């Protein structure tokens, strides 16, 4: 049972290195999808917002990681 738990933990770790990065990306995707579907936001604008949001989240995560390494 311990081996299965260890394998599962390693698999999750491969895809989710930074928990806040993954959580923020999921929230952003859900918000943009809801805006496109329910508010009538044009899909092209939704895609551009998704791109800009993902880049902002990645930049913030990278800055936080770099700040943690210098200390």
* DSSP structural state of residue 16: -
> pLDDT tens-digit profile of 9-36?
887 776 666 778 888 999 999 999 999 9
In a domain, 32, yes or no: yes
Q: Is 39 helix (H, G, I), strand (E, B) or coil?
A: coil
* pLDDT score, position 27: 95
Provide the percentage of residues in the chain whose pLDDT is more than 90.
51
3-class state of residue 22 by DSSP: helix
Total domain count for the chain? 1
> Can you give the pLDDT at residue 61?
86
56 lies in which domain range?
Answer: 17-70
**In-domain check, residue 26:** yes
Residue 42 in tokens: 């044009």
Q: For residue 54, which phi and psi values (nearest 5 degrees)? A: -65, -40
d(C-alpha 26, C-alpha 20), whole Å = 10
- Global pTM reads 0.72
Q: What is the DSSP letter of 27?
A: H
Is 49 part of any domain? yes
Extract the tokens encoding 12: 């999750």
Within a domain: 59: yes
Q: What is the mean pLDDT of residues 56-64?
A: 90
Average pLDDT, the chain: 88
- Domain membership of residue 45 (yes or no) is yes
């Amino acid at each position: 049972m311990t081996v299965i738990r260890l394998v599962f933990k390693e698999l999750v770790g491969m895809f989710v290195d930074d928990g806040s990065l993954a959580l923020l990306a999921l929230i952003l995707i859900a918000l943009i999808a809801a805006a496109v579907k329910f508010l009538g936001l044009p899909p092209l604008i939704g895609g551009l917002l998704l791109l800009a949001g993902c880049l902002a989240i990645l930049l913030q995560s990278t800055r936080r990681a770099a700040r943690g390494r210098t200390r």
